[in-house]
Amino acid sequence: MEFLEKKFVTSLMHWRATGVLHVVYALSTEALLIGYLYFIGLFTIETLLPTFVTVRFSLTKFFFLLLLATFLLSLLGRFLSLSFSWNITRKSPLLWLGILWAIGILTVSLIKFPLPIIPLLIGGFLVVGYLFWQIFFEEEK
């Protein structure tokens, strides 16, 4: 067992030195990003047409796979001493795209709710969003 562990670590070191792992990392990151975009697309379709996607394809499993891949990729990035900083500012188009998408999803989701409940739900959603923003981006600063 120890021999296998040693062999595995030696191989990893060798692949890192030769640059193979960097290629794997770059390709995996790109695939993961596309995976998240697909997830957003499928989630949007599911919101517009409930059960249309989920009867054919499990979004939960897909999301779990994406999270698992993200975790493994972050481990690989740490091993390769690579990290990306999130350059999301208030002027970033990505942020505004995300906000527009969230508004669209919210509108579609709330369309049949009674009017008085809608502000409560939106308020709750914004508070949760703000807290996540604080956790992921503001604390780093």
Partner 1 sequence: MASLSSLIADDWQSRYRIFRLTLYLIIIAVTLVFMLRVFFPTLIQRFDFRAPQSSKNTILSPRSPQNTPRFNGKIESGGTLVADTTVVGDFSLINVDAALEKKSAVPETLDFTLRRGYQSFFYPTGEKISYFPYQESVYFIEGTYYALRDDILYPFVSEEAFLSRAPKDHTFTAFNATLFERYPVSETWLGFRVGSLLSNASGVFVVVSEEEVRPIGSAEIFLALGYNFADVIPVSEEELGVYKRGRIFLLGAIHPNGTLLFDQDTDAYYLIDQGTKRPLLPREGYYLDFLTQERHLHPIVVSSLTSEQSVHCTLTPNILSTALSCTTPIASLAPGFGNDFELYISSPQTALDLSTLSVSFETAKNKQNMMTILSQIKQRLLARFGGV
Residues lying near partner 1 in the complex (CB under 8 A) are found at 19-20, 22-23, 25-27, 29-31, 34, 48-50, 52, 56-57, 82, 84, 111
CB of 141 to partner 1, least distance (A): 21
Would you tell me the crossing angle of helices 93-110 and 20-48 to the nearest 10 degrees?
30
| CB neighbour class for 18 (10 Å; exposed up to 12, middle 13-18, buried from 19) | exposed
Closer Cβ to partner 1, 34 or 131, answer by number: 34
CB of 69 to partner 1, least distance (A): 14
CB of 111 to partner 1, least distance (A): 7
Closer Cβ to partner 1, 89 or 139, answer by number: 89
Closer Cβ to partner 1, 16 or 125, answer by number: 16
Phi, psi of 52 (to 5 degrees): -60, -40
CB of 78 to partner 1, least distance (A): 14
Nearest to 42 by CA among 51, 30, 31, 32: 51
Q: Look at residue 52 and give its three-state secondary structure.
A: coil
Q: Are 128 and 102 in contact (CB under 8 A)?
A: no
In the structure encoding, which two tokens stand for residue 31, read together? 């695939």
Closer Cβ to partner 1, 52 or 130, answer by number: 52
